[in-house]
Structures are given as structure tokens and as C-alpha cells.
A and B are shown apart, each in its own frame.
Chain A
Amino acid sequence: MDQQHQRAIAVIAHIDHGKSTLSDRLLQLTGTVSERDMREQYLDKMDLERERGITIKAAAVRMTYRAADGLDYEINLIDTPGHVDFGYEVSRSLAACDGVLLLVDAAQGIEAQTLTNLYLAVDAGLEIIPVLNKIDLPAAQPDRYAEEIASLIGCDPSDVFRISAKTGEGVPELLEAIVARIPPPKGDESAPLRALVFDSIYDAYRGVIAYIRVVDGRVKARQRIHFMAAETDAEADEIGIMAPEQISVDALEAGEVGYLIAGIKNVSLAKVGDTVTAGDKPATEPLPGYREPKPMVFAGIYPIDGDDFPLLRDALEKLKLNDAALVYEPESSTALGFGFRCGFLGLLHMEIVRERLEREFDLSLIATAPSVGYEVQLMGSSKIEVRNPTDLPDPGKIEAIYEPYVSVMIVTPTEFVGTVMQLCQDRRGELKEMHYLSTERVEIRYHMPLGEIIFDFFDQLKSRTKGYASLDYEPVGLHPSNLVKVDVLLNQQPVDAFSTIVHRDKAYGYGKTMTERLRKLIPRQLFDVPIQAAIGSRVIARETVKAKRKDVIAKCYGGDITRKRKLLEKQKEGKKRMKQIGSVEVPQSAFIEALRVDQEVTTT
């Protein structure tokens, strides 16, 4: 279809604000899915089936809509990844769109993550159609939230659509607005092929499935193609569209959205944001905006059972096929054995990877406390990157340490502003902006070190605001900070897994928390065991595990030596499973317990 009748849109919405239900109505009203086949959360269910290997992801769905003007339009609904670590991926999805629907729950108002994505859309110059959903709910306050949205995007409250995706009220009008207000794409149909990869997944049978929007030219089945950033050459085995079922086509024209399968073995060869061009007649310039995925958060991941190390390695290799942002390299720890230092886009990405490793590969894992990547300026002139606190050079060799900062956006009810600001200040935040969305809700923007966010910040925020605040953040570069490495020593021996880099003002708090925590976890030995936290050679906190005074079986009942021996053998087996830190025997469970991130570290 010609570009004049193409529209590509994304829906920006907070979780549970009704994106899936709205998609259902759009599929239904456009006749994309027949009444007979319709079921709730249609696209989500297709994705679940994809996990079970039945069909492929509905990353984009084509709907054909006959508008009031009597003409047919192709509306492509592009999915956006819904979480905080994937800001770049969201930006690429948006780059594939001509406009967005800003969908907000009329009983809840806009949330931080929606705001972030909204700003991304505004920055991308996209047409924005504001929509309040769930107006059928008794708790809906459409007037109030229409004001909020209008003041955000600079429109009149009456311009905000009011719909109920559930009942269908207002959705036909919204479809008309999509056609009328969202501009058609303006690609060059005769130029060499340029298509934007806005999503890519790995399928065990077909290889990489790249979701693309053709910007210029056209792509045909079986033609030679070239991924410009990854410099991958391939042949398009199959191209097609999702409507919403997978349909292969001979060609995708400028403005069209679809998928491309080219027998590529790994998603890092066809990354999100890359530009696909023709193999024989390539474009000279790629589409703008490509960025290499950059890991922001690092953690050591270790198998609890050391024998699982090869399994973990294989599992990471497999995940990497489908996750271009995941990086890892082997490392070893005296406390935890052999594992990998992994880099993630953020905390949530880390959680997802870890959960997938445990669930899909049946591994039991322990992760070190997450850290960020530091840039260290050494005396002299060289600079190094430090991703593991243990690698931080001696303080005497360091001229300056730079740490990544993020711009944090928090949306909270006004009553919690004080406590939220207190939390941000405790975490070295610098207030940048405060904007009242309405008399009840505030958008607060802070700049703060990412390192302060990755340790239970979100949990703290939620608990201090009774769950009402929402959070989003994006990197804003590196800043010099007064940082020190705190080591934890057991009987004078450093335990690498507990070394951390913190701001000097927080070193004592960390040291005190860790030494106290370990005192409770390290079993008593035959001698006093000092547990110290130290910056270099300076001890800042100390606890002692007092020597064990009594460990002997009191008596032997009626000659039952067997039972006595079994008790001792159990004790002996327990010793075998202990890790030896110098002369101190520590059960692995103590390390695992001490590394649980859900416990709060004193930060004052």
C-alpha cells in the first residue's frame, strides 16, 4: 500500500492501564481478528504461545481499517518493551512509529515510566494522541487527569480522548483520529533500501527474526541484505507481516512494517537499532540513532554447586543468542568459586537474566551485590574501567574515580514529596526539577549516582510512598565522586565477594552493616575470628565471632556408639562443604545469606 495510507503507532502506557484491552478492541473493530476468534488479551496470549514455541512474537501487528473517508488504511501497532532498563529499545520502537497513543488510566493518572516514554516520543517529534482509559470505572476522574495530561503535552483538556477499551466506548472515534492526526511516513520509495530493526529475537529453528520498518526503498524475499552496524551479510529467507498471525509476503514497501528471517545465528548480528540495506545496492548512510548496547550494572553470578559451572557457561551462551545487551566474562572468587562477571542494562535486566538462568536452565545461583562500572583515572595519564570492586587499584595510584549518574524521574502523590526527597538526598541525589502535574501529584527529577539506585532504592521508594510512587531513570554520563573501596576481612583475609565501592561518607555504614551481618552468619570457630571492614589498611568497623566454647556430645546412651559416630560424621561432612577463608571455615550458606540484596544496608 502506498505510504499515504500507512500509519505506524505505538501505545505508551503503564502496566495495567489497559494497553492489551485497547489492542483487543482495535483488532476487533478493524476486523483483523474475527468475532469468532476473538479472546481477551489476544496479543499477549500469542506471546505466551510463542514461549511454548507455537508462533512468533506479535512485535508489530498490521490492521486494515476502512476509515470514514471510505478509504482503507494500514495501521501498524508496534509493541514497546515495558520496562525501565530498555529505554534505548523503546526509543527504537518509537523511531519506527509515526505517532503514539498516550494511554492513561482515568483512575490512576500518569506514571513515571509513561512520562519517560512520553518525553522520548516528544523528543522524537512524534504526533501524540492523549487517551484516558477506563472511564467506565466508578473511581475514574477523567477531568482531573485530562488536566494533568493537557498541562504535560500542552493541549486543551478537551483534546484528550476519553474511552473505555473494555466496553469499546470512544474507540471508533480514536481510530478515526489515528488516521486523521497521525501523519503518514515520508520515505523515499525509489532510494536504496533502508529498514530499521526495532526488535529482534532468536528462534531455535529459524535463527534471528528481525522486526523492521521499511523507511526507504523496498525489501524482497530472497534478496541479499546487509545489516549496516553489525556488518552482517545475509539472504532474506522469508519476509512477512503479522496480521496478527504470521503471513509471508514477497516484498515490504517503504512505510510497511513486518518481519525478516535471514538464517542469522545470534541477535548481536542483527541488533535493535541497526539498519537493513540491500546487499547489491546498499544505502550510503544508515538510519540515525543506532547505539551499541551498553551494560550499566555488573554482578558476579556463581553456581551454588561448583559442579554446575559448565552448565552456567552453556546457559549464558544460549541466552546471549537472544540478548545482545548481555555481556559476561569468567571470574573466580575465593568465597564463591568460579562464575561470571555479567553486565546488564539495569537491575531489572539483571533480574530477568538471573530468573531465566534459574528457570530455563534449572540452575541454583548466587549473585554478588550489583555494582556499576567505574572509570578510574590513574596517576599519570591512563584510564581504566572497573567493573568489579576487587579490581580497583590501590588508593595511592588513583587520581580520580568517575561513576555513572542517572537522571531519575519519580512521580508521587504530593503527600510523599518530603519522604521521597529525603530518600533521594540520602542517596546523594541532586534535585533538578520539580513539576506539579496537578495539585495532588508531582513529578520530581533528580540526578544521582546509578550506584545508589541499584541497591534497594526502588523497594525503599515503594515502601515510603505506600506503593504510590513510580520511578524511571536514564543515564546522563559519568561524574567524579569521592569513592573508596571497602574490603571485608575475615581473620585478616579479605573476602572478595564483599568488597564494594561506595562514597566515602557511606563506607562506615556499609562496613558496619556487613560486619554485623557476617558476625551472625559465620559459625563460631575454635578461635576468635575478627571480622573487619577496611578502607585500604584502615579498619573502619570490627566485630568478633567469639571462639566456640562447647561442642561435645554429653553422653552415649546404652552403648549406642553408632548414633554418636553418625553425628560426628555429619559434622565432618559439614566441614567438607565449608569454604576455607584462611583458617576460617565458612559455610557457603553464610555467603549466600550475607549477599541477599533484599536486606537494607545502613547508609548513614
Chain B
Amino acid sequence: MSVVVARGRKTGEWLADPGFGVYVHIPFCRHRCNYCDFNTYEGLDALHGPYVDALVAEIRSWDGVRRPATSVFIGGGTPTLLAPRDLGRVLDAVDEVFGIAPGAEVTVEANPETVDRPRFEGLVAAGVNRVSVGMQSAVPHVLKALGRTHDPRAPLDAIDAARAAGIGEVNLDLIYGSPWETAEDWRQSLATVSAACPDHVSAYALTVEEGTPLHTLVATGRVPDVDPDTQAARFEVAQRELAEQGYHRYEVSNWSRPGRASDHNVLYWSAGNYVGFGAGAHSHIDGHRWWTTRLPRDYIDAVTAGASTVAGDESLDPEARAAEALVLGLRLASGVPVEDFANRFGDGCLEQRRARLDELEGLGLLDLADGRIRLTPAATLVGNEVAARLL
């Protein structure tokens, strides 16, 4: 299978033309992990059917801009809790309303316990060409502490099955720097990933989010808090090990083999347009952002009643939008090409920040060479500091 991709796509670089994305949220999990603060719920099996119906209805009733989707991302939750046929109905609706562009990246997030080869074959038939498997760690005690119920082998079996079924690209998700993980544990996870040769690796530093069981454990002193220095050290190990295996880090937490970066991911950091469907989904079109009601029941009721699912929105003025775009773009290793950026957002943003940019360059945090603005390698892990100075 060969696909012609638009210039710059799949490289992980900032996109002058980010395309158009569609996000679909599946807010169900069999078991919720203790660190997770995503919009997902256990025990709502009875809602699966009505939810899919509501999704299809919401997509079909879309009356905004209709552009061919260059990427579709079905995230969760655990999308693979739903039958491939159901996900297929959703993708059909997206194709019907927006059109899925030729060669578009169509990703589904998968929990290793909910997939096998027939399921992946179903997904391929539904139009899925990329899966992202939640692996998190290759070490049993770390998986257990994180509240993951699968064994270390399961994610590897899952990507084998995916490939055998004809899924073109696979990603493995990792979490590092949890209080239970040793340096050796982390090296073992990285080695396991390398041996499995995925096209893409996402490695996220564990964040203790308020409202999660993990937060309570930390707040009450039963679990030590994550240590930023340890996380920095883990990141550096990942950086080294994955580079050795031919992975390029194109974003703070994302690595890929050449030409296998995630377009949907890059679209976010390139301040692109996307529409989100489902409970608690976020959308962005040209500076206008909105998000939908979080509870699946409320979402289904709203769609069924023909009412709006929108729970909140905001509009950014051009100045704020440009500043945000700059800050988002700096997440990418490629940084922001000055000329392309100015074409999309005008000159004002960078002009106004000239002194600040120079100052940050002087501090060794920004690299302004080659017509780009990008974080120096040293600044990658302190990106918030740079962002807070540029907003």
C-alpha cells in the first residue's frame, strides 16, 4: 500500500497548513487507572449502544465548516470496548459529513486487553490505519501500582496482532517517572519497546492530577509525590535510548520513526482546526474553541432531544490566538518557521515579542537560527517557563 502524503505531513514538523482533524471521544473504560483524569467512566456498558447512536446523530447534524479530514482520532476512555462495527458506523458518519481525505491518518486508541486479531481486522475494515496501544510500562510491579490490569506481554501481542491484521502504524504509550518506578524499570520498559519496533512511541511523565485517586494517595502521604528531577533523568534516558533505535523526538513527549509522526498530534501543536464529537470533546475552528457536556448520559440526552451538547466556549482575539499558537508550536522539536507563522498569524505577535525572544535566546532557552523559533534541547523540559514568558 502506498499513499501520497502532502508535503510536510508525517514528518512531525510544524504545519503551515495543518489540515483538518476530527476527534471522537469514547468515555468508557472497564477499569479506571488511578492516575487518570480523562473523561471516562466505568460500568456504563448499557450506554454503549445509545452513545454510538448519539455520536452518529451528532456528527450527521453538524452544520459547521465541512472540510475533508486529514486526520481522525478516536480516543478515550477505551474506544476498543466498542465493537469495530460500531466504530465503523462512526467513521462512516465522519466520511459522509466531512469526507476522510485520501491517506488521512485514522487512529484508534486501544487497551491491550480489549483487542485481538479479529478486532483489528474489523477496525481495518472500518477504515482505521493506526492504533495507539496503552502499554505504560513493561514491568509488572509498575503496571500494578498504576492500576493497570494487563500483563507486560499483552501490549506486545496487541501490536503484533494489529500488524498482522493490516494496521499500517502502531504506537506504544508509556508513562515514566511514577513514584514506584526505578531507573532500571524504566530502562527495561524502553528496551522492551525498542524490541517491539513500533512506528511511534509516546512517553509521558506521570502527572498527579487533582481529583484522581493517585492525588489522594499523594496528598495523604501514602505514596510519595513524583519528583521532577527524577522525571528529567528518565526523560534523558528515553531520549538517548530511543534515538539510538532510530526514533526522532518531534514533540515534548512523542517519538517516531522517520515519516511516522502523528499528523493528528502535530495538528494540535500547529494550532490547526478540529472538531470533537462525543462527551467532553474539544473543538477548535479559527480561534473559536468549545467543549461539550462531560457526562455520557447528559450527552446522549442532549443529542436525543436535538439540543446543543456545548458546555462552554471561548473566542480568542487574533493577538491571543497568535500568542497561543506560538506557545503551542514550541512544543514541536522543529519549532515554528517564522515566515510560515507570520503568514498565518501576521507579523505583530513576533514583532511585539522581539525583545523577549532575544532575551530567551540569551538565556539559552531559544534557538532563533535558520528562520525558526525553537526551544533549545536544554529548554525542552522547562517549556512552561518559556511559554509563561511569551504568553
Contact = CB atoms under 8 A, between A and B. Distances in A.
B14 interface: no
Nearest to A570: B388
A257 B38 CA distance: 78
A303 B112 CA distance: 58
Given A526-B365, A559-B283, A560-B282, A552 B391 contact: no
A563 to B, nearest CB: 9
B388 A571 contact: yes
Contact of A552 (B38, B276, B383): B383
A139 to B, nearest CB: 44
Interface in A501-526: 526
Nearest to A583: B363
Interface stretch (B88-96, B131-139, B229-237): B229-237
A552 B207 contact: no
Contacts of A548: 228, 382, 385
Interface string A516-539: 000000000010000000000000
B365 A572 contact: no
A553 interface: yes
Contacts of A565: 324, 327, 391
Contact of B205 (A546, A554, A572): A554
A442 to B, nearest CB: 46
A562 B384 CA distance: 15
A551 interface: yes
A561 B391 contact: no
Interface in B56-89: 75
Given A555-B253, A558-B25, A550 B282 contact: no
Nearest to B383: A552
A558 B24 CA distance: 9
A561 B268 CA distance: 8
Given A550-B205, A569-B391, A572-B391, A559 B23 contact: yes
Contacts of A568: 327, 384, 387-388, 391
B104 interface: no
Contacts of B280: 558
A549 B230 CA distance: 9
A555 B282 CA distance: 15
User: Which residue, of A526, A559, A560, A562, has the highest number of chain B Cβ atoms within 10 A?
Assistant: A559
Contacts of A558: 23, 25, 38-39, 75, 276, 280-282
A598 B120 CA distance: 66
B41 interface: no
B384 A551 contact: yes
A526 B363 contact: yes
B204 interface: yes
Contacts of A39: none
B337 to A, nearest CB: 20
B380 A552 contact: yes
B324 A561 contact: yes
B203 to A, nearest CB: 9
A351 to B, nearest CB: 35
Given A562-B282, A562-B314, A568-B384, A555 B204 contact: yes
B284 interface: yes
A552 B388 contact: no
B228 A549 contact: yes
Nearest to A556: B268
B384 A571 contact: yes
Contacts of B229: 546, 549-550
User: Which residue, of B202, B204, B232, B388, has the highest number of chain A Cβ atoms within 10 A?
Assistant: B388
B299 interface: no
A564 B38 CA distance: 14
B384 A553 contact: yes
A206 interface: no
B291 A550 contact: no
A37 to B, nearest CB: 57
Contacts of B388: 568, 571-572, 574-575
A557 interface: yes
Contacts of B204: 554-555
User: Which residue, of B206, B381, B387, has the highest number of chain A Cβ atoms within 10 A?
Assistant: B387
Interface in B9-64: 21, 23, 25, 38-39
Nearest to A559: B282
Nearest to B276: A559
Contacts of A569: 391
Interface string B323-336: 01001100000000
Nearest to B264: A559
A549 B381 contact: yes
A574 B389 CA distance: 11
Nearest to A571: B388
A550 B228 contact: yes
B386 to A, nearest CB: 9
Given A549-B229, A568-B384, A572-B388, A554 B252 contact: yes
Contacts of A574: 388
Contacts of B187: none
Given A561-B284, A562-B282, A550 B381 contact: yes
B341 interface: no
B250 interface: no
Interface in A416-430: none
A559 B284 contact: yes
Contacts of B383: 551-553
B329 to A, nearest CB: 12
Nearest to A576: B388
Given A550-B381, A572-B391, A559 B228 contact: no
B382 A550 contact: yes
Contacts of A551: 228, 381-385
Given A526-B363, A555-B204, A556-B268, A561 B382 contact: no
Interface string A184-203: 00000000000000000000
A549 B232 contact: yes
User: Which residue, of A526, A549, A551, A558, has the highest number of chain B Cβ atoms within 10 A?
Assistant: A558
B235 A550 contact: yes
B284 A552 contact: no
B23 to A, nearest CB: 6
B274 A552 contact: no
User: Which residue, of B25, B202, B268, has the highest number of chain A Cβ atoms within 10 A?
Assistant: B268
B314 to A, nearest CB: 6
A567 B202 CA distance: 22
B372 interface: no
B250 to A, nearest CB: 14
B77 to A, nearest CB: 10
Contacts of B252: 552-554
Contacts of A546: 229
Nearest to B75: A558
Interface in B110-145: none
A586 to B, nearest CB: 15
Interface in B208-267: 228-229, 231-232, 235, 252-253
Contacts of B327: 565, 568
B330 to A, nearest CB: 10
Contacts of B365: 526
Contacts of B391: 565, 568-569, 572
Contacts of B385: 526, 548, 551, 571
A361 B25 CA distance: 54
22 contacts: A526-B385, A546-B229, A548-B228, A548-B385, A550-B231, A551-B228, A551-B385, A553-B252, A554-B253, A555-B202, A555-B253, A558-B39, A558-B282, A559-B268, A559-B276, A561-B324, A565-B391, A568-B391, A571-B385, A572-B388, A574-B388, A575-B388
Closest 9 CB pairs of A and B: A549-B232, A552-B383, A550-B228, A571-B388, A550-B232, A572-B388, A559-B282, A554-B204, A550-B381
Interface of A: 526, 546, 548-562, 565, 567-569, 571-572, 574-575
Given A554-B205, A560-B282, 6 more contacts: A550-B205, A552-B381, A553-B383, A555-B202, A555-B204, A562-B282
